[in-house]
Structure 1
Amino acid sequence: MRIHDSTYVQGMHMVHDGPREAPPLLLIHGSGASGSSWGPVVPALAARHHVVRVDLPGHGHSPPADSYEVPEQAARLAVALDELGLGPVTVAGHSSGGYIATALAEHRPDLVESLALISSGPGPDALLPQPALLRALIAPPLGPLLWRVRSDAMLRRGVTAVCNRPVDVPDDLVAEVRGIGYRTFRTVLSRNTAYIAGRSVPERLSVLDVPVLVIFGAADPRWNPSSAHLYGTVAKARVEMLPDVGHFPPLEAPQETAELLLSFTVTGR
């Protein structure tokens, strides 16, 4: 039976789409976004999967948490999956959502059948100088002021600043981004950086016996696209570059992204 409903599990808002009995696919958004950032790819994915979109703590419809450490967020997700009776699952993470997906596989390898990382920078050295608007929104003293007066137009520009193709930013994503607190956003960014500074993502994946799909935009303005080759050192990893796509493949290239994910979930390659 096809479903479309939402639940709160472990304090996190989760939206379910597709047949309940279909293979589960967990989608994890990046910093400063929400589960709605996956909206354009959900219809295609839900034709074959029980798709679960999570709003991480402090994002979307989920309340803030006491800690935003990547391993702790992954552990919370593991408990949520256990409560839902889901597993093993394919986990797809966009941007820093890929770090939480990786940490989930580290913490509970029994729950993770395969991993798809989309625009997930492998390590701090791959980070490029950020677009001016994002720098202004993040850095004090201007950041907190701009955060309080953000208009819908500014929020949309914040999303499109990391895109290379024209995109229509979903209204629900704009509304949900507005609810993210400045302190939460800054803390999440610092915890994500700490996670990949400790060990790079390819290093972490190399000791996990799990198939990995890496999708990278060849025009990503946040992470050096050439750094995607570092994932080639992972035994079970496949790297796919999307021409003319920036940091947000689910919004910029939803059809190509969905096709890659569906092929991966079917073949594991």
Structure 2
Amino acid sequence: MNVSDGSYANDDAGVAEASPVSASSLSLEDGDIHVCQDGPRDAPALLLIHGSASSGRSWAPMVRLLSGSHHVIRIDLLGHGRSAKPADGSYAIPDQARRAAAVLDRLGIEHAVVVAHSSGGTVATALAEQRSELVTALALVNTGPSLAAYLAPDSAATGILQWPPTDEQLRELASTGFSRPGYQVPEELLDDVRSMTHHTFLATMQATRSYLEQRPLPDRLAVLGKPLLVIFGADDRRWRSSAAGEYRAVAGAEVELLPGLGHSPLLEDPPRTAVPLLAYTAKHAVPVER
């Protein structure tokens, strides 16, 4: 069944998705990358990048809203989801961005709007730094601009010594990702954490920290000259939502705060999150040349 015709369990029961039009594993030199594609192949391309300890499944409730007018591409970054998790792999942000570019090249994508959630925004930024001609525009969803905006204690993640974590530890770790009291974190997303190794869990989180320590994202993006949309759940419990205004340092940046939503608006309220995103991509997505 085509995802654009299917439905998702977009409620507390989970994020189960209809079968994508195409799911495959692409072999790169440092590990296999899992890729899902939805929507018409001749439509403008959207690359969706997930955050830490997650996977492309986190975008499942959004796909049916986006794939009617876009070729939607989701990847599981190395170390996450259904992609490889090598013990000796590099999880540095520039290397994750290089792999994302390699996937687009393999798929024959010449231009894409890159949409990223949370720490996936660091990968999107690095991709634009490396391959300016490939990235036509960026949209960041609850991506903190710098470490100064971070609210959640590091101990919630790095303090996990046993692996895999207990269900209680997983739910505590995930709790700051949502604003609604009593929200039941979808089991599929907890499975994404369970599927990681302790090494990849810690290495990928440290990679994000290192990238932000080197230079805040608004400073990096300001010199790229790319259109930028920032969507931020105003009740984010991981990143100070007022810090979204720092992205206005990027010329022409659009900043959209969503009251009542937390760190994961793509899961908490997909239709509401899709409204500014679709309006933005309508202006900046590049049609495929026939």
Match of 1:144?
Answer: 161
Q: Which amino acid aligns with 2:197?
A: G
- For 2:210 and 2:102, how far apart are their aligned partners in 1? 23
- For 2:173 and 2:270, how far apart are their aligned partners in 1? 19
Q: Which amino acid aligns with 1:204?
A: R
Measured against aligned partners, the alpha-carbon deviations of 1:60-106 in whole angstroms (never above 9, x if no partner) come to: 00011410110111111111111110120010110110010010000
Map 1:215-254; keep pairs closer than 5 Å.
Answer: 215-254=231-270
Of 2-11 and 60-69, deviating more is 2-11
Contact 1:137–1:144 at 8 Å: present in 2 too? no
- Please tell me whether residue 164 in structure 1 is matched to residue 185 in structure 2: no
Q: CA deviation at 1:138?
A: 2.1
- For 2:78 and 2:222, how far apart are their aligned partners in 1? 28
Q: Percent identity?
A: 44
Q: CA deviation at 1:180?
A: 1.1
Measured against aligned partners, the alpha-carbon deviations of 1:221-244 in whole angstroms (never above 9, x if no partner) come to: 111111111001110310000101
Q: SS in structure 1 opposite 2:161?
A: helix
Match of 2:150?
Answer: 127
Match of 1:80?
Answer: 103
Match of 1:90?
Answer: 113
Match of 2:76?
Answer: 55
Match of 1:105?
Answer: 128
- For 1:149 and 1:27, how far apart are their aligned partners in 2? 27
Match of 1:207?
Answer: 223
Give the 3 Å change call, closer, same or farther, for CA 268–21 of structure 1 in structure 2. closer
Measured against aligned partners, the alpha-carbon deviations of 1:159-214 in whole angstroms (never above 9, x if no partner) come to: 33321026454443332321012221111111111111111100000011211100
Q: Which amino acid aligns with 1:216?
A: F
Contact 1:34–1:177 at 8 Å: present in 2 too? no
Q: SS in structure 1 opposite 2:254?
A: strand
Match of 1:18?
Answer: 39
- For 2:258 and 2:284, how far apart are their aligned partners in 1? 19
Give the 3 Å change call, closer, same or farther, for CA 6–261 of structure 1 in structure 2. same
Of 104-113 and 12-21, deviating more is 12-21
Q: CA RMSD in A?
A: 1.9
Match of 2:191?
Answer: 175
Looking at secondary structure, tell me which structure has more helix per residue: 1
- For 2:184 and 2:66, how far apart are their aligned partners in 1? 20
Q: CA deviation at 1:124?
A: 1.1
Q: SS in structure 1 opposite 2:140?
A: strand
- For 1:149 and 1:184, how far apart are their aligned partners in 2? 14
Length, aligned pairs only: 261
Give the 3 Å change call, closer, same or farther, for CA 184–51 of structure 1 in structure 2. same
Give the 3 Å change call, closer, same or farther, for CA 207–72 of structure 1 in structure 2. same
- Please tell me whether residue 31 in structure 1 is matched to residue 52 in structure 2: yes
Q: CA deviation at 1:215?
A: 0.7
Give the 3 Å change call, closer, same or farther, for CA 136–198 of structure 1 in structure 2. closer
Return 5+ residue gaps in structure 1 as ranges. Answer: none
Contact 2:164–2:194 at 8 Å: present in 1 too? no
